[in-house]
Amino acid sequence: MRTAGQARAALARLLAAAGHPGGRALADAQLAVTELIANALHHGGGLTRFDARLGPGGTELVVDVEDGDDRHPVVQPLHDRDPATTGGRGWAIVQALAATCHVVPLPAGGKRIRVTFAL
């Protein structure tokens, strides 16, 4: 997986193969994954791994995005941002859309961000 577009398509295929209609869950996951991959490419030294799967019982979508940077995403409250700026909102968007967000350091360096979405 190299681009956000490829990741969005992979999510759609995964849910379709599982018989899930997509809808809001798919749209939320696709937007959040776009933000995570953009952050990995622009701030994290590049995307090193992407994985998406259904959780136990098929009731949630689990997505992992890994990059080469040890730094955790910085949360900046949206109300503190100049509305004219074009960046700095990605992590807040991800947190608003996902059911859970976890950042885990990787043994060889970098981090894994795991997000889940209720289906």
For a pLDDT cut of 90, what percent of the chain falls above it?
78
CA dist., res. 23 & res. 72, Å (int): 30
Task: Outline where the chain has alpha helix (H).
Answer: 4-17, 23-43, 90-97
**Which tokens is 15 given?**
């849910």
Nearest Cα neighbor of 79 from 70, 71, 88 is 88
From the centroid of its chain, how far is CA 51? 10
Determine the pLDDT at residue 36: 97
CATH of the domain spanning 4-118, picked from 3.20.20.220, 3.40.50.1970, 3.40.640.10, 3.30.565.10: 3.30.565.10
Checking if the pLDDT of 86 tops 70, the result is no
- Give, as one character, the DSSP assignment of residue 74: P
Determine the pLDDT at residue 78: 62
Determine which of 73-77, 89-93, 105-109 has the lowest per-residue pLDDT on average: 73-77
pLDDT digits (tens, 9 = 90+) for 31-52: 999 999 999 999 889 999 999 9
- Per domain, the residue ranges of the chain are 4-118
